[in-house]
Chains A and B, each alone.
Chain A
């Protein structure tokens, strides 16, 4: 006993660990208690009150999410009093909510709408306050739309921004009936520290926070006969998209997704994995060059540890929070932007298409990618390198609009030239994946042998631990890398910006001596990205990660440098990693920003 206690829920006895909430205990006996402000990723707030239950002997109802079980507690979840209270709470929330559901982007995927439907809120006993409130809609960000008229002030976004991301762009301001979620001085999301990661969107129960969608723009491009529309798909999309289209979390739908994209009318369907492999070639070479500069030439200007630069949310975070460390960032563009720069140069030339006729679209698990594509630095092809960025969710909407029966599609293959991928490219979608892919290639480049882990699986960098560490000792390197003999390459992996902050603070305090660090803005890496299907939870992210590693394990080629199309692009177009053309097309600069 000791740590266990017994309670009854609706007469049924359940034994739970001490500290378990009534909400979790009820789940164990198959009793569902509705929630709104509660989210598994976040601390308990207990402010929406819709999870109220009756406890025998207590006059007042208790919030199930915020009340721990006590020995002998007799909980009732389905009494007249409970049902009536919940109904009134939902009615009160709706009285301040712009419930114009048919014209809402979240129509059909809204927790408040679902509750209103379950409790059959047919008539409003309360005055509808929306017309009296001066609600604002912020549409200035290229990634996120914030509509206060849909907000129920559950503060899931505020907690997400603070607890998961330590960005603190959003806060609760004012009080009572004037309370609202704002940024500093109610500036636009575009003008504050917001990293565009989109985690607030993933955690918002209503339509108050949604992505800025570019669906109509892409439909127009596809319909334009004069345009050649190329699409790229990020690694994590293939393990998330299925959830929007009837599959369980963790289903790999790569082949079906390619088939669907072709049916939608894209002229070429290619893979961001290809440029993920290319990133490894460029970034791996950059790391080795930096190590040589630091260890052999003792050049004090060489910045170590080197940090990855694939995640645009992380990039904006470091630009705001640690502008003194921008020299530590790899100069490599993200795979999306490498693809964008190459599609209007290399691909256009090879396929003899005028680059100004190409519309470059990307499907990303990410909302920050929308911002990244709009950065002024991202025009190295002479055009905007990536024209439109769609999230996994937006692609699912297009597939539904097009009337495609996704389940029935036969698998198809990516188009050639920039559509080949290795397992290393695929695992970019999971936290630790870039590190693993880089080690697979860098170790082999240096020693001529495979990385010393069973089946190439570098397990220490896998999994959902917030900060992971690994080290690889380099023995018997090839002669040109002899300076690395006996060097222990120390690596770290951080996902979720709150963990990125921990690592950066350790570096700042001089308490970390890594060589190479992978940073991903979102929990779980891209598979938990702000553009992925809603809902998200630790369990769902775990299943998506399993799918990513299964995809990798099933690939015939699992090391980036083996990708035949990568070999070909260096031979035909780029020359060598970090060469002049690479420098111009595949690398970039960063901008220091202020902290608000």
Chain B
């Protein structure tokens, strides 16, 4: 459905991951996590899930159930960089919707979120924007995370700067802002 042939995880890699975790508690979650990690665009493609199901005998629908339950799992290709905007109650009252709207600088981003999506990836697979319900950092609202680093009391100027640095691949500059 969403996987091009090139983006599929090699079955030999999946076999290796399965054999390493066979019989351990929480096997399925760990295997799914590592398969996602092994994928070039950090997501679970349908072919990999089908292969995983055929090898572990876990029904395919159940794998899908687990993959949709945890927001950690991605069902669509992810960009090289991630930009996560918290849409929890505290961040919302401190204006996180405005921050999300500021990302309209990325064509298609605003439309995706307005239509109810919770994730958007640029066509060149450079940047993925996501929303989450809460980071647990409410005192620092509004909060965003860029490539796993948390930024607090973010303003419109800041998020635009963070985005610009990402686009220019200027990591060090972003670290300084954190």
Interface residue ranges, A against B (CB under 8 Å): 134, 162, 168-175, 182-185, 192-193, 594-596
- 1/0 contact trace for B47-86 toward A, CB 8 Å? 0011001100001111111001100000100000000000
Knowing A134-B116, A173-B69, A175-B69, the reply to whether A184 touches B54 (Cβ < 8 A) is no
Q: Does B1 contact A (CB under 8 A)?
A: yes
Contact B69 A174 (CB under 8 A): yes
Contact B46 A185 (CB under 8 A): yes
**Which B residues touch A185, using CB under 8 A?**
1, 46, 64, 75
Closest Cβ neighbor of B49 among chain A residues: A184
- 1/0 contact trace for B13-39 toward A, CB 8 Å? 000000000000000000000000000
Return A483 CB to nearest CB of chain B, in Å.
40
> What CA separation (Å) do A349 and B65 show in the bound complex?
54
> What CA separation (Å) do A185 and B64 show in the bound complex?
7
> What CA separation (Å) do A594 and B75 show in the bound complex?
21
> What CA separation (Å) do A595 and B63 show in the bound complex?
13
Contact A169 B69 (CB under 8 A): no
Q: Chain B: how many interface residues by the 8 Å CB criterion?
A: 17
> What CA separation (Å) do A428 and B149 show in the bound complex?
67
Knowing A185-B46, A595-B54, A596-B50, the reply to whether A174 touches B68 (Cβ < 8 A) is yes
Contact A172 B50 (CB under 8 A): no
Contact A173 B116 (CB under 8 A): no
Return A595 CB to nearest CB of chain B, in Å.
6
A–B Cβ pairs within 8 angstroms, 26 of them? A168-B60, A168-B61, A168-B62, A171-B62, A171-B64, A171-B65, A173-B64, A173-B65, A173-B69, A174-B69, A182-B64, A183-B61, A184-B46, A184-B49, A185-B1, A185-B64, A185-B75, A192-B61, A594-B50, A595-B50, A595-B53, A595-B54, A595-B60, A596-B50, A596-B60, A596-B61
**Which B residues touch A193, using CB under 8 A?**
60
Contact A172 B54 (CB under 8 A): no
> What CA separation (Å) do A134 and B68 show in the bound complex?
17
Contact A170 B53 (CB under 8 A): no
Closest Cβ neighbor of B65 among chain A residues: A171
Closest Cβ neighbor of A173 among chain B residues: B68
Closest Cβ neighbor of B69 among chain A residues: A175
**Which A residues touch B49, using CB under 8 A?**
184
**Which B residues touch A183, using CB under 8 A?**
61
> What CA separation (Å) do A595 and B62 show in the bound complex?
13
> What CA separation (Å) do A430 and B82 show in the bound complex?
59
**Which A residues touch B68, using CB under 8 A?**
173-175
Contact B69 A184 (CB under 8 A): no
Across the interface, B60 reaches (CB within 8 A) one of A162, A172, A175, A184, namely A184
Across the interface, A169 reaches (CB within 8 A) one of B54, B61, B63, B65, namely B61
**Which A residues touch B59, using CB under 8 A?**
162, 168, 171
Contact B116 A184 (CB under 8 A): no
> What CA separation (Å) do A183 and B61 show in the bound complex?
6
Return B173 CB to nearest CB of chain A, in Å.
37
**Which B residues touch A173, using CB under 8 A?**
64-65, 68-69
> What CA separation (Å) do A594 and B60 show in the bound complex?
11
**Which B residues touch A594, using CB under 8 A?**
50
Contact B61 A170 (CB under 8 A): yes
Return A160 CB to nearest CB of chain B, in Å.
13
Chain B, range 69-128, C-beta contacts under 8 Å to A: 69, 75, 116
Return B29 CB to nearest CB of chain A, in Å.
15
**Which A residues touch B54, using CB under 8 A?**
595
**Which A residues touch B65, using CB under 8 A?**
171-173
Return A190 CB to nearest CB of chain B, in Å.
15
List the 3 closest A-B pairs by CB distance, nearest first.
A168-B59, A171-B61, A173-B68
Return A468 CB to nearest CB of chain B, in Å.
26
Return B62 CB to nearest CB of chain A, in Å.
6
**Which A residues touch B50, using CB under 8 A?**
594-596
> What CA separation (Å) do A487 and B54 show in the bound complex?
39
Return A377 CB to nearest CB of chain B, in Å.
26
